[in-house]
Amino acid sequence: MLLEQRVQDIQTNITHFCNKSHRDASQITLLAVSKTVDLEGVAAAARIGLTNFGENKAQELCRKAKAFPELQWHFIGSLQTNKVKDVLPLACCIHSLDRISLAEEIQKRAKGRSIRCLLEVNVANEASKAGLTLPEVVSFVQNLEFYPDIEVIGLMTIAPMTTEPESSRPIFRALREKQLEVQALGLKWAPVKELSMGMTGDYTVAIEEGATIIRIGTGIFGPRNYNK
């Protein structure tokens, strides 16, 4: 299947599941996960109208963001503190804030610029994944009051791998409930309007549960070797 057809199919699904959930499809950001995709692949995706791209390695984000500065680049992987200085000037958003040491480094390197971040939440408590636990989220976001250049625009989670999308629903619903809890605090530095959840296998369920950002790699670019 051609890249353009795959993207059209995803956009059709976005519209369908937004309508089903009484939501506006314009609320959904389609984030093309371009890890392991070469520059030609990014260019092809951009030509058909995709504007938001996600990378999980600092070196790759820097390389591609410099090649395509007109696109919006999101850092979606675990961010090491020693890579913050490289990523911040190029990323429009950090999707993986999950520890105070990282917040300290972001604040140090922000230099007065507001840095848009999502808190990474390990809803399923998987040992193999980073992220805050659900009970840690409120106290963590309250402590970010002391990091004035960090704006917590939302929450992010990755559901456990599964062949049954419906099994991800409780994970996404729990994150949505935590979003409402944080919003109720009325913290000016944490509007948490965004929910980044759902990937190729389960994004339709994520949309039904309130996702505003869906991260699609294979569904756009096809199967790839993620061990590269």
**Percent of the chain at pLDDT above 90?**
89
The string of DSSP codes covering 211-225 is -SEEEESHHHH----
Residue 47: in which H helix or E strand, if any? helix 39-47
- Quick check: 228 pLDDT over 70? no
Please check whether residue 226 lies inside any domain of the structure: no
Q: Is 121 helix (H, G, I), strand (E, B) or coil?
A: strand
Q: How many residues does the chain have?
A: 228
* pLDDT tens digits, 158-171: 998 888 889 999 99
Do the domain assignments include residue 193? yes
Q: Is residue 227 part of a domain?
A: no
Q: Let me know if residue 211 belongs to a domain.
A: yes
The domain tally of the chain equals 1
In a domain, 228, yes or no: no
Residue 56 lies in a domain: yes
pLDDT tens-place string over residues 163-209: 888 999 999 999 999 999 999 999 999 999 999 999 999 999 999 99
Q: Other C-beta atoms within 10 Å of 48: how many?
A: 14
**Tens digits of per-residue pLDDT, 101-160?**
999 999 999 989 999 999 999 998 888 888 999 999 999 999 999 999 999 999 999 998
Burial 163-200, CB ≥16 within 10 A → b, else e = eebeebbebbebbbebbeebeeeebebbebebbbbbbb
- pLDDT tens track for 81-102: 999 999 999 999 999 999 999 9
Specify the CATH number for the domain of residue 197.
Answer: 3.20.20.10
> What sign results for the dihedral spanned by CA atoms 179, 184, 190, 192?
positive
DSSP H stretches of helix in 117-168: 137-143
Domain assignment present for 127: yes
Is residue 46 one of the residues assigned to a domain? yes
The pLDDT of residue 226 = 47
Please tell me what DSSP assigns to residue 189.
T
Verdict on whether the full-model pTM lies above 0.85: yes
Q: Determine the structural domain holding residue 201 and report its residue range.
A: 3-221
